[in-house]
């Protein structure tokens, strides 16, 4: 019996380890398109870009783990899946058979339809090789323009400022991180970045990236040229679903999986940024770009391959590191109708923002507030009712508030 995992992502690394833990004793092969063992991606725009860690230090597991567990790796691309024949066709034309298949295909950077993106010195940021190219370029660059003020763009800006690089961030939306946070949180991060010397510009349109052989600047729609020795584009990602769709697997903004990480093929599971899963808590299908979610889906997928029953149930959570700030996010804030602040986002660098809809807390953004984050995960996970007015009081005890809320629920 052979199980093949396509994709050396966080999900792929967890899935192969979990398969051995769940008792899979057959052949186990991981096929990835990067010539390196699976590594942690979140530090790429942080510690790795800042030069504080090596790629070996980012490996999810050391090489000897895979050797001890008889897990083989193959550096290759997969061009097609023949579900009837239970085989894969690789980029070199070789066909490889499988009994069970796991798709951990991840996502790729969203490309900007702009003139000049092909110039030397223009980079997208997703893989270790991207960071190595950026670090090489930064060594001789005094000015960097970052297009996109989401997590990746702002994390990159923070890392570059630590290296003393002059940074301008351009964002088409009216505020930074507009898609994922409340205005109060956006204003806080814009303030911090400006205090750190970043030129943040929101509500701007870009007409082109200009240069001869290499980039020399970014032209705005109003005619202004912002000079740059390096341009980094971070405007989101696109799930890698083409391989699955061509094989006839169901796709809807991601490969559709059920609660057991199973696709519409009984011998194919999927996990990670490439999948779409119906989350009962939110009443709709969602695709999450989250390391914890990818890990949970992978564990469930491994159990499914081994004939065991586990379900995807965990509450989504995320994090972002910028400067000395650790943003921890619990839940999803989509559809909120009010927010409650604990702490002052207009002063200092620590506060929490709780999101409510119809009186129920649905998410929380916690900046340097680990207690509020753990409190929020408990409240959201168990759907414990809490009073917004009590949360807003910074002197109120979270443990006492939680104890009272649990008691009232009984």
In Å, how far are 51, 120, 242 from 134, measured between CA atoms?
Answer: 11, 11, 28
Least confident of 98-102, 207-211, 373-377, 404-408: 404-408
Which CATH number is 142's domain given?
A: 3.50.50.60
Task: Note the pLDDT of residue 403.
Answer: 82
186 found inside a domain: yes
Q: Are residues 32 and 10 in the same domain?
A: yes
Task: Note the pLDDT of residue 46.
Answer: 84
Q: Are residues 247 and 229 in the same domain?
A: no
Q: Are residues 94 and 33 in the same domain?
A: yes
pLDDT, the chain, mean: 94
User: With 90 as the cut, is the pLDDT of residue 49 above it?
Assistant: no
- Reported as half-sphere exposure (CB side, CA atoms, 13 A), residue 208 has a value of 9
Q: Are residues 128 and 101 in the same domain?
A: no
- Domain end among 205, 233, 261: 233
Alpha helices, DSSP H, located in 306-396: 370-382, 388-392
319 found inside a domain: no
pLDDT tens sequence across 350-362: 999 999 999 999 9
Task: Note the pLDDT of residue 409.
Answer: 65
301 found inside a domain: yes
113 found inside a domain: no
116 found inside a domain: no
Q: What percent of the chain has pLDDT over 70?
A: 99
User: With 90 as the cut, is the pLDDT of residue 184 above it?
Assistant: yes
Q: Are residues 270 and 213 in the same domain?
A: no
User: With 70 as the cut, is the pLDDT of residue 410 above it?
Assistant: no
Domain encompassing residue 375: 324-409
User: With 90 as the cut, is the pLDDT of residue 47 above it?
Assistant: no
Q: Is the separation of the CB atoms in 255 and 103 below 8 Å?
A: yes
3-state secondary structure 218-269: EEECCCCEEECCEEEECCCEEECCHHHHHCCCCECCCEEECCCCECCCCCEE
Q: Is the separation of the CB atoms in 381 and 364 below 8 Å?
A: no
Q: Are residues 203 and 141 in the same domain?
A: yes
pLDDT tens sequence across 357-378: 999 999 999 999 999 999 999 9
34 found inside a domain: yes
Distance CA 329, CA 362 (A): 11
pLDDT band, residue 171 (cuts 50/70/90):
very high
Q: Are residues 279 and 373 in the same domain?
A: no
Q: Are residues 224 and 242 in the same domain?
A: no
On whether the pTM is more than 0.75, the answer is yes
pLDDT tens sequence across 236-289: 999 999 999 999 999 999 999 999 999 999 999 999 999 999 998 888 999 999
Ramachandran angles phi, psi of 151, nearest 5°: -60, -50
pLDDT tens sequence across 309-325: 999 998 899 999 999 99
Domain tally, the chain? 3
Q: Is the separation of the CB atoms in 303 and 22 below 8 Å?
A: yes
- Domain end among 233, 265, 283: 233
User: With 90 as the cut, is the pLDDT of residue 139 above it?
Assistant: no
| DSSP assigned state of 382 | H
Q: Are residues 55 and 87 in the same domain?
A: yes
pLDDT tens sequence across 25-43: 999 999 999 999 999 998 9
316 found inside a domain: no
- Domain end among 255, 274, 305: 305
């Amino acid at each position: 019996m052979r199980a093949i995992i396509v994709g050396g992502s966080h999900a792929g690394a967890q899935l192969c380890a979990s398969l051995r833990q769940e008792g899979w004793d057959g052949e186990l092969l991981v096929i990835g398109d990067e010539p390196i063992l699976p590594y942690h991606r979140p530090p790429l725009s942080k510690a790795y870009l800042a030069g504080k860690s090596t790629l070996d230090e980012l490996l999810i597991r050391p090489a000897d783990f895979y050797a001890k567990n008889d897990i083989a790796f193959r550096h290759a691309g997969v061009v097609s899946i023949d579900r009837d024949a239970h085989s894969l066709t690789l980029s070199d034309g070789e066909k490889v058979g499988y009994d069970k298949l796991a798709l951990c295909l991840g996502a790729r950077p969203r490309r900007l339809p702009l003139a000049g993106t092909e110039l030397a010195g223009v980079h997208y940021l997703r893989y270790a090789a991207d960071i190595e190219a950026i670090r090489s370029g930064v060594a001789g660059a005094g000015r960097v323009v970052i297009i996109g003020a989401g997590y990746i763009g702002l994390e990159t800006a923070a890392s570059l400022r630590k290296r003393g690089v002059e940074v301008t961030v351009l964002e088409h939306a009216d505020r930074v991180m507009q898609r994922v946070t409340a205005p109060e949180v956006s204003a806080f991060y814009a303030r911090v970045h400006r205090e750190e010397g970043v030129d943040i510009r929101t509500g701007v349109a870009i007409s082109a990236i200009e240069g001869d052989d290499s980039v020399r600047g970014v032209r705005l729609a109003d005619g202004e040229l912002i000079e740059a020795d390096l341009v980094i584009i971070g405007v989101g990602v696109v799930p890698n679903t083409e391989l699955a769709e061509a094989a006839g697997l169901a796709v809807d903004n991601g490969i559709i999986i059920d609660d057991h990480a199973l696709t519409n093929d009984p011998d194919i599971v999927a996990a990670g940024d490439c999948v779409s899963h119906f989350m009962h808590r939110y009443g709709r299908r969602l695709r999450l770009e989250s390391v914890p979610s990818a890990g949970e889906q992978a564990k469930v997928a491994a159990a499914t391959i081994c004939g065991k029953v586990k379900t995807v149930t965990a509450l989504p959570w995320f994090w972002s590191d910028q400067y000395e700030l650790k943003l921890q996010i619990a839940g999803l804030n989509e559809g909120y109708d009010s927010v409650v602040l604990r702490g002052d986002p207009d002063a200092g660098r620590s506060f929490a923002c709780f999101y409510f809809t119809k009186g129920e807390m649905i998410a929380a953004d916690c900046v340097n507030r680990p207690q509020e984050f753990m409190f929020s995960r408990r409240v959201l996970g168990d759907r414990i009712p809490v009073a917004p007015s009590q949360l807003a009081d910074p002197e109120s005890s979270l443990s006492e508030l939680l104890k009272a809320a649990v008691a009232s629920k009984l």
